[in-house]
Amino acid sequence: MTKTVVAQTYGTPEVLELVDIDLPAPKSGEVLVDVKAIGVNPFDFKLYSGAFGTDPEKLPIRLGGEAAGVVSAVGDGVTGVAVGDEVIVSPGNGLYAEQVVVPVSSITAKPAGISWEQAAGLLLVGGTAVDALDTIRVGSGDTVLIHGASGGVGAIAVQLAAARGATVIGTAGASNQDYVRSLGATPVLYGEGLEARVRELAPNGVDAAFDTAGTDEAVDTSLALVTDKSRIVTIVAFGRAQTDGFASVGGGNPASAEARLKARSELVEQAGSGHLTVKIAKTFPLADVALAHTELQSSHPAGKFILIP
| Average pLDDT per block of 10 residues along the chain, 309 residues long | 97 97 96 98 95 95 98 96 98 97 97 96 98 98 98 97 98 97 98 98 97 98 98 97 97 92 96 96 98 92 95
Q: Architecture of 2-122+278-308 per CATH?
A: Alpha-Beta Complex (3.90)
pLDDT at position 301: 87
Contact 78, 30 (CB under 8 A): yes
Return d(Cα 8, Cα 204) in angstroms, integer: 54
Contact 249, 135 (CB under 8 A): yes
- The residue type of 61 is I
**Cis peptide bond prior to 203, omega within 30° of 0:** no
H helices present in 137-263, as ranges = 152-163, 177-183, 194-201, 216-225, 238-244, 254-262
Q: Would you mind telling me the total number of residues written for the chain in this entry?
A: 309
Tell me where in the chain the CATH 3.40.50.720 domain(s) lie: 125-254
pLDDT at position 251: 87
Residue range 125-254 in CATH 3.40.50.720: yes
Dihedral of CA atoms 241, 244, 246, 250 in degrees, nearest 10, equals 10
| Cα–Cα distances in angstroms (integers) from residue 190 to residues 53, 65, 83, 176, 177, in the given order | 32, 30, 48, 11, 10
CB atoms within 10 A of CB 294: 15
Contact 160, 185 (CB under 8 A): no
3: part of which helix (H) or strand (E)?
strand 2-7
CA proximity to 131, closest of 266, 240, 224:
266
Q: Transcribe 108-146 into DSSP letters.
A: EEPPTTS-HHHHHTTHHHHHHHHHHHHHTT--TT-EEEE
Contact 295, 305 (CB under 8 A): yes
Q: Transcribe 243-305 into DSSP letters.
A: HHT-EE--TT-HHHHHHHHHTHHHHHHHHHTTSS---EEEEEEGGGHHHHHHHHTSS--SSEE
pLDDT at position 300: 84
Return d(Cα 253, Cα 276) in angstroms, integer: 26
Return d(Cα 283, Cα 292) in angstroms, integer: 8
- DSSP character at residue 227: S
Radius of gyration of the CA atoms of the chain, in A: 20
pLDDT at position 80: 94
- The residue type of 15 is V
Rounded to two decimals, the pTM is 0.95
Tell me where in the chain the CATH 3.90.180.10 domain(s) lie: 2-122+278-308
